[in-house]
Structures are given as C-alpha cells and as structure tokens.
Amino acid sequence: MARLTPDNTTLAHEIIARYPKPKSALIPLLHLAQEQDGYVTDEAMRHIAELVGVTPAEVRGTGTFYEMFQFEPVGRYLINICGTMSCALMGADDLMHAAEETLGVHAGGTTDDGMFTLHRAECQAACTEAPCLQVNYRYRFRATPDDVRTLIDDLRAGRLDGEIPPHGTLARTRQHIPADRGVGAVDPDDVAGPPAWVTVDADTSQGAS
Amino acid sequence: MSPNDDAVNEPTDATDDAGSSGDKAVMVDDAVADADTVDSEPVVEPDPDAVTITINGREVSARRGELVISAAERNDAYIPRFCYHPRMSSVGMCRQCLVEIDTGRGPMLQPSCMVPVSDGMVVDTESDTSKRAQEGILELLLANHPLDCPVCDKGGECPLQDQAFSHGPGESRYVEEKRHYEKPIPISDLVFLDRERCILCDRCTRFADEVAGDALIHFMDRGNATQVNTYPDEPFSSYFSGNTVQICPVGALTASPYRFKARPWDLEQVESTCTTCSVGCRTSVHSSRDRVLRFQGLDVSDDHGEAVNHGWLCDRGRFNFESIHADTRLGEPLVRTDAGLTATTWSSAMSITADLLGSALAAGSDSVGIIGGARGTNEDALAWARLADACGVGRRDAQVGDGIPAEILDLPRASVDDACAAATIVLIGPDLKQELPVLHLRLRAAVESGRTKVIEFTPTGSGLTAGAWRSQQYVPGALVETVRQSLSDSDVAAQLAAGPVVVVAGRPNLAEQGPAVLDAVEAVVAAAPQATVLPVLRRGNVIGALEAGLAPVSGDTDAILRAAADGQIKVLVLLGADPLRDHPDAQLARRALAGAERVISIDGHMSSSSRAADVVLPAAVMGEKSGTTTNIEGRTTPVEQKVTVHGTARPDWMIALELAQRLGHDLGVSDLNDLTAAVPHAARHRSDRVPAASAMPPSNYELRLIVSRTLYDAAVLTAASPSLAELAAGPGLSVHPADLEALGVSSGDDIRVVGPRGSVVMPACADDRLRRGTVWAAFNQVDPRGVHGDIREVIDASAVANDVRLEVVS
Ligand code: SF4
Ligand code: SF4
Ligand code: FES
Ligand code: FES
C-alpha cells in the first residue's frame, strides 16, 4: 500500500509506452494509483515521478488540479452532494442534512468504519435533474432526503455492489492494447510539415466533406 | 481616480527590482522578447523582419517575433505586467498587460505579452478600455492580497505596490474575507514563501522548471485554493533558488540572508561583478549603513549585445556577501613571535616582509614563490606580476594545483553566447552545475532549445548529461585516448563538421593530472580546426590573474610546493591562496608550508594557511575594493567598492606597490587608475609545457578515484557565510552499488579509503551513475566533528591518476 505494486508497475510501463513522451502518462498513472489504494498516496506520487521522469512536485501539482483525485484516504463510497445554484434552490441542503445525520459525519468527513466519505460538490452538470448527488460518480437525480437514507442503507447492505464499485475503480474489465496493436506514439517534436490526414477511402472522404 | 500619468510612462521595468533602480543598470531585454527566435534569425540588410506598427498613435518599427509588450516598452509606452519576464517564455498568467490591439478586425483587449507584433497592427495602451481593463485586473489581484506592505521586505521596491499606484483603480470594491495561509513557510534552507502575498504569476515556478531545471516548486490545488508549494518533505533546494526571490513581483518569496535587514529606500547600490567563480556574473551590490546586505543579478549586455548571466545568479554567489562581515576577517597585520601570531602595525609588518623578501631574493630569485592572485582584481594581479617581474621571480602561479595549464588561454577564445549559439559544445571538464553554475544555466538553455548538441567527457556524469547528445564516461587516466577514440566515430565527426564547435575545457577530476585536459582539447581542435575554447577554470579572477602575468614562468604551483617541501623556497607568498585547504594534494601542501623558510599570507580571512604563516597581511575583499575582473570569456568588467574596508585591510595592489618601493623597484604605476589602464588583454602564455604523463603504472589499488567540487564546500567565502556554511554535505565516498555490495557494506556505513599515501575514513554512499571500478568524493568537505577525514589525504598530485581500495571499518 504505497508505491505501485509490481503488477501495476508493469501496467504503468505499458501505459507509458502508449505516449510519445513519458510525462503524458501522468494522469492515467494517477488513476492507476488511486485505483490501487482508493486514493493517491505520497509514495505512489514519488513512484510515478520516477517512472515518467519528473519531480514529485510536478506530479502533485498536476494531480491536485483535478477534483477526482483524492490525496487523503476516503471511504469505500464517496458521496458528492451538489451544492451549486440549481440544486441549492431545489433542496440540496436537506439532502446534506439527511446524509450527515445518517452517517454521523459532517461534510468533508469519513465514517469510522471507512465506508463513507461525504463531500459537498460543485455543479455536476445535471441541473435539470436537481437536486442531485453522486456516489463514486454514479448519479442519483431529483433526490429526496429519504432517497439519501435508503441509498446509504443499500450501500451498507451491499445491495448496490453490482452497480457501484469501490472508490477509485476505473473499470471492472480492463482493456488491454498490445503494443503492436496500438496506433504508435509519434513524438510531436519529430513531426515535419502539416498533419497528414488518414484517408480510408478517397470517394467516401470526398462525399463526407 | 485616474492612474498617475507620469508613472504610466516610466520606461523602467517595474517588475525587475534589480534592473529598475540600479544606478548604471541598463535593461537590454527589450529586443529579446524571445531570445531563441531572435538569435536564430539571420541579420541581413534590409531587415526582412522589420514590421511597422502603431502604438498610441505613433508609427514605430518592430521586429517580427517581438512581443507587443516589449515593442511598446522600447517605444516609451510601458505596459504594466507581473508574469511576463523577458528571459522566460510568456504564459499570459496575470492578465495585467491587457491593451487594445487592432489587427484589422477592430480593437480588442489582448494580453500584450502573448501577442507578437504584425505589420499594420494598431496598439492603444492608454485608451479608456485598456485603462479600465488594467484597473480591473489590479483590483482582482488585490482581492486576496494582504496589503501588509509596512512589514513586507518588498515594500518600496514592489511591482505590485508600484503598479497598483500607477495603473490601479485606487480603491477596491471587495469587502469579503481574503485567503488565509500560515505566514511564511520555509520552502528551503534559504527561501521563505508567504502564500497570502502570492499573486500566482508563475514566475518562480516557471524559473524553477524552465531555467533551472529543478521543478521542485509547483502550483498545487486549484481554483481559489491554488498555491505555490513544494512536495511534502522535498524542499526547494535548487542551487538557483535565490533568483525566484529576485523575480517574484510581490513579497511572497524572501531569502533568509536578507529578510528584515533593510528597507529598499535605505539601500545604496552599485553595479559590480561576482568573483566567486570565473563566470563573472554581473551584479548589483546593495548596502546600508556600510554593510553589504545583498547581491542582485543584473541583466546587462556589452557593446556586441552579448550578456553573461541574463540576470541570474547562483545561490553561492548571491549569498556569500555574508562573508564580507564575517568574524574570520583579518583586520590588522600579524607577525609570528614567540607568542604566536601577534598584531602589529602596517609599517612594521611591511618592513619585516620587505626584509624577508630582500634577503630571500639575495639568495636567488628562485628562492621566492608566489601562489595565488585569483581572488583579487586584475589590478591586484598586475601589481604583483610586475613586482615579481622586477624581482625576477618566475615561480608564480594563480592556480592552486586545481586547474589546467595556462596555455589553454592561448587557444582562440569563445564567449558564452558563442557557446550557446554553437552547433556543438564539447565539454571536457567538471560538472558545471557544481562549479560554474550560471554557465550551466546558459548552456542548458542552449541544449533545451534544440539548437546545440553536447558531447561531454566526464568521469562521473554531470548536470548536462541528461540532455547531452553523447555523454562519454571515461576512466580517469584515459581521457585523451577516450577523446581520440570518440573523435574517430563517424557520427561524431559529422556532428563536428555540422557547424560551429565550442570546446568547454576545465579540470574534470582533481585526483587526475590537469595537463591531460590540454592534450584532449588539442585533439578536438585538430579534428575541428575552427573550434573555439571556453576555459572553465574555477577560481574567481583566475583568467584575469593569469593574463595579468601571474601565469607560471618557471614552475607552477605543484612545482613551487615541491620546491618548498625540498627546502628550496625561502619565502613563500600566498596571495589569497590557502594551499593547506585548497590544494588537491594535502600532504604535499603540508610538507611545503613546513619546508618553506618563511610564509607570507595576504588574505581577507583567517585561513588554515594564514594560521601557519609567519606574516599575515590583511587584504580588502570584494565589496571593499574597486578595479576590474576578467571572466572565462576574457570579458573585463568592473568590481566596485561599496563599503569601507574591515579594520586596516588593504587591497593587494597597494601592498605590492609599497613592497616594490621598499625593495627599490619602480613598477611604472602609482595608483589604481594607472593599473587599470595597464591591464593587458589576452596575454600569451609560454611556460615550459610539461607533457602530460600518459601511462598509469599498475597498482594493487583496484578503484580509480574521482574528486571534484560541489557547489557548497569548505571554501573560505562559503564557510564564512552562515546561511551557506551548513549546506555543505561533508565528507563522503560514492561507490557503485555492486562494488559496495561486493564489500558487504551498506550505504551510509563508514568505510576506509586506502591509497599508497595513507588512508581516511568516511561514509560510503551507493551511486549507480558511477562506472564500476570508479569511486567519487566531493572536494574540500570538512567534518566539523573531525570523525571523517579529508579525501585530499590520499591524493598524489604527481600521479597520472590516483587509485584506492576500500576496507571495511570494523
Ligand atoms: S511566489 Fe511570487 S513569483 Fe511565485 S507565483 Fe507567487 S507571486 Fe509569482
Ligand atoms: S555562477 Fe559564479 S560568477 Fe555567477 S553568481 Fe555564481 S559564483 Fe558568482
Ligand atoms: S447545480 Fe447541481 S448539478 Fe448543476
Ligand atoms: S504580463 Fe501579460 S499576462 Fe501577465
């Protein structure tokens, strides 16, 4: 639980090879680290820095720009309750109260059993469905305080395991692109002249324009 | 309230603290908005890159590629700015430079630091819209700014303060609570960061990444929480950290040596030159109440438009001003009596010195040796060289056995700008990042631009290795063969033929002889006959001193020390030199000082050697004397006196002149002006060149020793600067992990380094950048507890290279 595991390190090298510059793999590797430990650990950031040849400060600086990376331990379920305008008008505060009461933590906190972390979030681009919330980025629209209580019960009881994997999970089936099947990394510095568009079929490409 | 019109037109760069107020400082960055672009464009007549633009109703000419902000400034229309810096890439971070620009589609507000000029462009920096935009941005920048100017070091020279006054709205509409952070946090041993004051201009972070290559600070978090910070537990320990303090346009970054020491309006400043190493960075020396309080870097160019340091300084050069006022300064002459070194008057010390010299000379001019001179001005060196000439003393050397033969100066010389414009740089020398840091910055920029390829020959790897086209790690003792072999490679030959070649040549390894470097350089010059040479000898004014006549005439420092050890030297004069600490061969130095009948030390600080001397004459140090200095390029620039000398110290030249008078010689000069006028340029050096020994006799010491400098060591000016003294790493030996494992020793354990001469104990450290079979130790590192020894104890200066073996300490 710290640096990337040997398996993930192998995967990291595979990911790095997909890019013209190792540094470009930074974000995918941060996802990998978050998937491994549920959040991005300091040691993992150091490890990523070594793997892509930048400083740990650059890794942290880049990672902390993104809301979806967590740098402190979070629960198995991260509940983000939208608090921006539409949701606020439609009763986001009631959702937050219900969640706080049910979980026994304030916004920003994590339950003692490590199951839930509660966050107040900015607009989740579902304003027409306000008030809304997300659990590990899975939406619940037009939610009511009762919905929140039921949701928490269901999550606790494992009734939603099929829909909502633990925080950090990227995908349940990992896509694997063998090196020889990839498009191949072209170093942007090595490209001479204007971009060459790939034409699949001369006729259709004309028709399409 | 409307902005102050006078201030609007103030033609100085308000964000460049050093450049803006320096008495004689000339900002020359105007035309170098993007140095890379401009440099690579050919200059022909008529200039095809000339474009005509209109600024505030006036037609002016500008160059294609130039940014609007710099074209405007050149034409007396100063546009306010915070993030723009002429020596770094533009990022458009602060938006303060918004002005109306019309490129034919009607006037639009655009950040002038991001827009290059184009023909027919119309710029209005003073329209109502431009002014409103600038006022608005200032109001936004101040929304979170604490305005604690009365307790802020930057107050009085702060671009935010100045431009809030000249281009701000006068009043803010914000009543909300500002951002709060813990007041200054240390981000390194030298630099403090106050995040409340930071306006997130990206200058410091850009410098760290782009210029220094040490991206140890970065923007962290996002939105309203965005802040500059380091990685936890990984401080901003860059050799160049002080530059961020200088370019921060607010008081967010402060350096511990200057914090709360002065108010800017109390500072007096003068343009000068750093003489800590031979790069000769241009500086501005700031003092208050007769104490030097800081150095700032100056960005000045010569008549050919060539610059040395682009305004940057290394931390060692920037902060060692502390040594001027150190406790170790010598303030009165001392002579050895039965009670040890005893203070006396100048007249009695000078008469004793003159007598000693007189009687030694009577026994033959070879019984006097003069070592040093590189720590002084050209005038100091010239006066001493003339005194030596008058007395017929040929045994003189400005290098302390740590350089390469002075004949390197006879080869056609390159400038730093030449090197940066060359197609190929061949580096045969030390790690420049450790020894000549700002030269490293310049060369690194050339490499990063893709313009220049580096071929380096190094025993250890260097700061340029990562970007080098070819990095050849050679085994000490085999430099010349390695270079020859490499030159026969057809790719290398093609690269050398591809354009101008500059050879950067210095001493890569202090445990290996210097003359081999000269042979290696000559091999490169034979393969690339147009090549020019940049000699990277390390000591401050070493080039100036050698050219002024302190190059060996009969016998270099090694030879002088050997003669002294053999009892042939009656008077050994140490001119700001400390062979006991600085000569690579510690045993030879000790025997020499013991063997010389009398030792006269002329130095600014009490050193190991002055402690062992018979007469000690206190010398004025840089900051206390005026004159000129000559850097690696042969560029002669002024150094200026800023404070009164410590005690009764005198400049070296004055001492030489008085001694000449007492000895009955006329040196043909009577004051500093005479000396300055007589400073020679590019003298030739013809001593009896000792051919480099080539074969290394076999030994039963299986590891080849490499010794080179790191930036922070026990050198006197560093050790006498409290802020820097702690930064030296102390003794240690780096060993390839496999070699270390073979011994069963782990990293950090003590190990005994045994050579034919003797042995020393120091901690071992695994380092996989080394070749197997070689070990590396930093030069001149002292353990204050005396537990670990000095690597110089095992170096034999007369050996081609030095071998050691390691023993486990039980
Ligand atoms: S600390 Fe200074 S230089 Fe760095 S981003 Fe903040 S204001 Fe700019
Ligand atoms: S590189 Fe050399 S000359 Fe420049 S600031 Fe550093 S020590 Fe001084
Ligand atoms: S305001 Fe809640 S989703 Fe947009
Ligand atoms: S100076 Fe142009 S955006 Fe900062």
What proportion of chain B, given as a percentage, has pLDDT over 90? 88
**Structure token digits, residue B251:** 């008081």
Helix/strand/coil for A204: helix
pLDDT in tens, A132-181: 999 999 999 999 999 999 999 999 999 999 999 999 988 777 777 776 66
Distance from C-alpha of B719 to C-alpha of A161, rounded to nearest angstrom:
64
**Of A56, A59, A61, which has the smallest distance from its Cβ to B219's Cβ?**
A61
Give the Cα separation of A60 and A7 in Å (integer): 23
- List helix spans (H) across B215-345: 242-247, 315-319
The CA distance from B580 to B588, in Å, is 9
Rounded distance, CA A142 to CA B735, Å?
66
Q: What residue type is B703 in one-letter code?
A: L
pLDDT over 60 at A203, yes or no:
no
Tokens, residue A114: 């490590």
Q: Give per-residue burial for B356-371: e unless 16+ CB within 10 Å, then b.
A: bbeebbeeeebbbbbb
pLDDT level of residue B304 (50, 70, 90 thresholds): confident
Among A156, A84, A79, A149, CA closest to A118:
A79
Distances (CA, A) of A158 to A110, A145, A163, B540: 18, 20, 10, 73
Beta bridge partners of A139: A134
Contact B423, B499 (CB under 8 A): yes
Two structure tokens written together for A144: 């009511």
- 């000895």: which residue's tokens? B663
Number of H helices, E strands in chain A: 8, 4
Q: Are B100 and B123 in contact (CB under 8 A)?
A: yes
The ipTM of this complex is 0.86
Residue B119: pLDDT over 80 = yes
User: What values do phi and psi take at A28, rounded to 5?
Assistant: -55, -35
User: How far is CA B216 from its chain centroid?
Assistant: 21
Which of the pair, B137 or B680, is modelled with greater confidence?
A: B137
**For position B693, what pLDDT does the model report?**
61
Q: Check whether B354 has a pLDDT greater than 90.
A: yes
Q: What residues contact A37, with CB distance under 8 A and at least 6 apart?
A: A1, A2, A44, A168
Q: What DSSP letter does each residue of B508-538 carry, written as one string?
A: S-TTB-SHHHHHHHHHHHHHSTT-EEEE---
**How does residue A186 score in pLDDT terms, banded at 50, 70 and 90?**
low
**Mean pLDDT value of segment B746-753:** 94
Query: For the packed helices B557-565 and B586-595, what is the interaxial angle rounded to 10 degrees?
Result: 50
Burial class (CB in 10 A: 0-12, 13-18, 19+), A147: middle
Mean pLDDT taken over chain A: 89
| Residue B231 DSSP symbol | B
| Three-class secondary structure of residue B352 per DSSP | helix
pLDDT tens figures, B664-681:
999 999 999 999 999 987
What's the rounded mean pLDDT across residues A64-83? 95
Q: For the stretch B41-52, what's the b/e string if a residue is b when 16 or more beta carbons lie within 10 angstroms of its beta carbon? A: eeeeeeeebebe
Alpha carbon nearest to ligand 1 atom 6, residue: B198
N- to C-terminal Cα separation, chain A: 52
Sheet of A116-121: strand order equals A116-121, A77-82, A133-135, A138-140
Q: How far is B447 from chain A (nearest CA, A)?
A: 15
- By C-alpha distance, which of B330, B714, B375 is closest to B577? B375
Q: Which residue of A has its CA nearest to B235?
A: A57
- CB-CB neighbours of A62 under 10 Å: 20
| Chain-chain contact of B234 with A42 (C-beta, under 8 angstroms) | no
Using an 8 Å CB-CB cutoff, list chain A residues near B234. Answer: 55-57
Give tens-digit pLDDT for A86-119: 999 999 999 999 999 999 999 999 999 999 999 9
B723: which residues sit within 8 A by CB, 6+ positions away? Answer: B189, B190, B256, B257, B319, B322
In the three-class reduction of DSSP (H, G, I as helix; E, B as strand; rest coil), residue A93 is classed as: helix
List residues in chain B touching A: CB distance below 8 A: 209, 214-222, 229-232, 234, 450
Domains and CATH numbers, chain A: 6-71 (1.10.10.1590), 77-157 (3.40.30.10)
| Residue that has been written with the tokens 């921060």 in this structure | B248
The per-residue pLDDT for B700 is: 76
Rounded CA separation B693/B512 (Å)? 11
Tokens of A140: 């619940």
B527 in Cβ contact with B496 (< 8 Å): yes
Q: Which 3 state secondary structure label does DSSP give A202?
A: helix
Give start and end residues of each alpha helix (H) in B22-111: 35-40, 68-74
- Chain A segment 62-81 residues within 8 A of B by beta carbon are 62, 64-67
- Does the structure show a pLDDT above 50 at A67? yes
Mean of pLDDT over chain B: 92
The CA-atom distances, in angstroms, between B717 and each of B123, B286, B461, B576 are: 51, 18, 27, 11
Tell me how far apart the alpha carbons of residues B799 and B105 are, in angstroms, rounded to a whole number.
74
Yes or no, beta carbons of B234 and A60 under 8 Å apart: no
**Domains, chain B, ranges and CATH?**
50-140 (3.10.20.740), 334-403+542-678 (3.40.50.740), 406-535 (3.40.228.10), 703-808 (2.40.40.20)
Please judge whether A65 and B234 are an interchain contact, meaning their C-beta atoms are less than 8 angstroms apart.
no
Laid out side by side, the sheet with B185-186 consists of B185-186, B191-193, B253-255
Residue among B222, B231, B450 minimizing CB distance to A57: B231
The number of the ligand nearest the C-alpha atom of A90 reads: 3
Ligand 4 mean position, distance from CA B214 (Å): 23
Per-residue model confidence (pLDDT) at position A171: 78
Residue A208 scores a pLDDT above 60? no
- Model-level pTM? 0.90
B215 and A45: CB-CB below 8 Å?
no
CB contact under 8 A, B215 and A55: yes
Question: Tokens 């450290």 belong to which residue?
Answer: B765
Instruction: Please give the share of chain A, as a percent, with pLDDT higher than 90.
Output: 76
Among A62, A65, A71, A190, the residue to mutate for chain B (most B Cβ within 10 A): A65
End-to-end CA distance of chain B: 79
Q: What tokens appear for B420 in the block? A: 């940066």
How far is the CA of B551 from the CAs of A189, B372, B404, in angstroms? Answer: 48, 10, 11
Both tokens of B489, joined, read 């490679």
C-alpha closest to that of A147 among A98, A110, A90, A85: A98
Q: Where residue B682 falls among pLDDT bands split at 50, 70, 90? A: low
Taking Cα atoms as reference points, which of B800, B3, B228 lies closest to residue B477?
B800
- What is residue B768's predicted lDDT score, i.e. its pLDDT? 92
User: What is the reported pLDDT for B63?
Assistant: 93
